[in-house]
Structures are given as C-alpha cells and as structure tokens.
Structure 1
C-alpha cells in the first residue's frame, strides 16, 4: 500500500486542480492520498467528485503557524471542516494572505524587481495566494532560476529582504483546535532549515505534551542525518512518523509518492480521527 499524506492543488499553491491531483495520484500508483492545501479545504469537494476507484482520499489542510517569529506548518487530517473555532481561524489565515502578498510585491518593487500584483494574482488564480506564487513570478522574470531559490534571505524566506509576516496561529493553539475538531495533528517538515530556522527538539517535545500526534520525517527538505535524528526523537516522544512528497505539481521538482507513510501509521490516523473519515474512490467524474 502506497500512501502520500501531503499534497497541494490549485486551491492553494499547487498547479494541479484537485481533480487532476487525484487522477495523477492514481496514475502514480498511490492507494491513499491526502489533500492538504494551505489554510483551506476548498479543494475537497472537487477531489472527492473526481476520486478514481481504488484511491482513497484523506481530507486535510496545512495550517500556517508561528512561534517566536519562526514560521511553522501543521498538517491537520480528518477534522470536522465545519467546527466553528477552527473554521474561523482558517478564514483569518486565508484572508490575510492577499494583503501580505501585496505588501511583499511592494517590497520587491522597492528592491528593483519589476513584479506586479496583477501577475501574482493571475498565477494564483482561485487559489489561496502565497509565497510560491510570488516565487513563480520571480522565476518568470529571471530573478531566480527556480522557485526554491526565491526562498532565501535575499528574497522571500522568513526574515528575507522582501518578507512580510502574516496572520499565523500559535502552534500550541493550532494543535488544540485540530484535536477539538476531531482531527490528527502532525508537524510538517520540522527540520527544513533551508526554509528558515528548524523547529527545536524542545519545542517538538512541548508540542507532543500538548497533544501533537506526529512529525513529518521523510521529506525532500530533510537530509539523511536530519531524518535519523527526527526518527529517534519521535520514538522517544511516542510520536507517529510520516513520509510525504509535499507535492505542488510543476511548481516543485518532486513527484507524487516520492516519500510515503507506513500503512500502520495510516491505520493509526484513522483510528484517532473522529471529525471525518477517509473517502474511498467510486470511479470519479470523467476527465
């Protein structure tokens, strides 16, 4: 069984529509895929309608968090999307993305980059606008060679010259909200130092004590040493360990199923979740 529990669609900053994503997941030989767009569940209905037979969808979201000025991401799985507190926070997170992106465009223009808000909005389309959309615009302009190269102190990484903070959840509050909505809370790519500062072991331990269910270990931004360290840490804290592609379509050079989660871990997620259930494919709508 092949399971990928971290993907993005055009509902946030991926390049596949939700329907395309589930069809591509099936074509990639996945048995289970999670749709975890940034701060939104808007892509779930389309993904479910197109879900091919033989593929199961885990509904989720990747929540924007911050602690002591450091951005963090929390993967939330199988929560009740209508739970009022978590819904309100998701809406605040999503709504703050536009003024933040506009402010980053202004900063880039002050640095001499001929970027426009109109082009960034066009790239984002109907999705929740985010830094990857600005990064794509920088690639188009020849400012950086790849999307990843935009996430540096020179440009739009945390604390970078054109970075602007946005509304983000305290991660401890986020864990509480996800659990209260019947979901499972997993810290995304905690050792991805190139995205900014990595999450400390002590913070992960505190989050575990607060109810965190697991951490993402096998990820493209973790080297072998980081994966080994995180696996040992998770074992000592009785946290579940996850492997995921963090797929963004053509926006990132990573394939669906490049990293996967053990079926036993997936089974534990479904046992812990009470807010929603995995959706088995029933054939889906035609492409």
Structure 2
C-alpha cells in the first residue's frame, strides 16, 4: 500500500482545492492519503466526496501550529479527531484569528518598502482558508519581487526579517492533550527539521509523549539523516509509531505526493487510536 499522511489543499497553504488534491493523489497511485490543512478541517467534506469518486482512502486530519514557552515553532499533525470538540475548536479558532491579524500587520510593514497591499495577498487566499505567510509569498511572486515561495521565505519572510510578526499558537503539550480528548491521534510533524529553524530539546519530546503523543513523522525530506536515526531510537524506546509523508503543497513546494510513505502497520495503529471521526477506506 502507498500511504501518504501529510498533504495540504488551498484551504490552508496548498495550491489545489481539496477535490483536485485527491484526484492528484489518485493519479500518483496513492492507496491512502490524509488531508492535513493548517488549523482547519474545512476541506474534509469535498475531499471525502472526491475520495469516494476516485477510490482513494482518506484519513481526515489537520496540522496544528504550536509554540513552546521558548518561542520555538512546533507543528502537530492530528488524525481522526472530532472537529467540533469544544476545547480543540477554541484553540484552533484563536490561532486562525491570530494568523489573520499577523498577516495583516506583516503586509502593512511590507507595503512601506514594496508595492504590495492586502488585496494583493487576498487574491491568493481561497474563501475561508487559513491565511499564512505562504499567501504573502505568493503575492510577492505575483508582483515580481521574488521568484518563488522558497526565495520569499529565505529572505523577506524569514523569522529574522524586520517584516516578521509573531502570532499566538497553542503550547504543544496542551495541543496533544486536546487532540487526545477529541478522540484524535497526535503525531509530531517533521520534528527535527533543522533547516526550518530551531528544533525543540529532547525534554519537550518527552513532555509531549507523556501527554499522549502517539507518533513521529520520521521520513520527511526536511528531517536530516542523523535526526531520523535519533527519532527511530526514540520511537522504539517510547513505543511510538513512525510515519513517512510528503508534506505536499501542490505548486507551493517541490514536495511530491508519495515521496515518503507510511507503513500499513503504522496506519493500523493510527486507526486503532482514532475515535473522533471515521476514516474512508474503500
């Protein structure tokens, strides 16, 4: 089986509508995919309809933006959670509002130096989508200021840039607890991706595991080889399952559907733990 448990549609920062994303997964001969848009489950319904049409297994999920007390960004994948769980929904709603406000402030700063305004950014945001820096990057590309998203993030939109604005994000330990309370399965996304910035210390891993973390996304293009080796040891020591995923964003990133895969055994463990929402498995 070909199983890819980390993809994004234009409900967050991917470039394809959910139905088109599922069609692309079918064309890539995936047997099972997960839709994991940032801080949103709005793509679940159209993705499910397309999954039934194309005969692709669908694991409904989400990627939660988190931040430690030291300000280190953590991304938590969750699967099969109840999307209406009050505690989880409250935190996700706070994060979405914070992302919107943060994006508006960043555009205000950028407009001082570049021919860019909020309408330029809004043109790249699908209705109801979670706004993020990738949408600002797309506007910068469209304006001819940078060549692609990667250049934007490496220069103008880096966290060290004077245009950068931080935003509220839930503590990762609390996020794990809320996902488990919602019947979901929490998995630490690209946990040692040093190229993305600072990574958390081992203590945070263990705190998240103690709170109910169930898996680690080991096979991901941004995890360096030595980091993957460390993650495998940690997973064995703490009884976690390991996943492999593409983190596909359509044209937004070079990542390809199915470039890293999850084993059927890991999927089986995920399905055993997830009780908040049913998967679609044809």
TM-score by length of 2: 0.94
Aligned residue pair count: 279
Q: Is the 8 A contact 2:217 2:245 kept in 1?
A: yes
Corresponding residue number in structure 1 for 2:139: 137
Q: In structure 1, how many angstroms separate the alpha carbons of the residues matched to 2:57 and 2:160?
A: 39
Measured after TM superposition, the shift of residue 159 of structure 1 is 4.0
Measured after TM superposition, the shift of residue 169 of structure 1 is 0.4
1:147-183: CA deviation from partner (whole Å, max 9, x where unpaired): 123223x432334322111121011110010000000
Corresponding residue number in structure 2 for 1:61: 62
1:1-39: CA deviation from partner (whole Å, max 9, x where unpaired): 010001110111111111001111111010110000010
Q: In structure 1, how many angstroms separate the alpha carbons of the residues matched to 2:227 and 2:177?
A: 27
Unaligned 5+ segments in structure 1 are 282-287
| CA separation of 1:183 and 1:95: change in aligned 2, threshold 3 A | same
Q: In structure 2, how many angstroms separate the alpha carbons of the residues matched to 1:225 and 1:140?
A: 37
Corresponding residue number in structure 2 for 1:47: 47
1:222-259: CA deviation from partner (whole Å, max 9, x where unpaired): 22222222222222222221111111101111111111
Measured after TM superposition, the shift of residue 145 of structure 1 is 3.1
Q: Is the 8 A contact 1:57 1:278 kept in 2?
A: yes
TM-score by length of 1: 0.92
Corresponding residue number in structure 1 for 2:78: 76
Q: In structure 1, how many angstroms separate the alpha carbons of the residues matched to 2:108 and 2:195?
A: 24
SS at 2:59's partner residue?
A: strand
Q: Is the 8 A contact 1:201 1:233 kept in 2?
A: no
SS at 1:72's partner residue?
A: strand
Corresponding residue number in structure 2 for 1:252: 253
Corresponding residue number in structure 1 for 2:182: 181
Q: In structure 2, how many angstroms separate the alpha carbons of the residues matched to 1:243 and 1:45?
A: 24
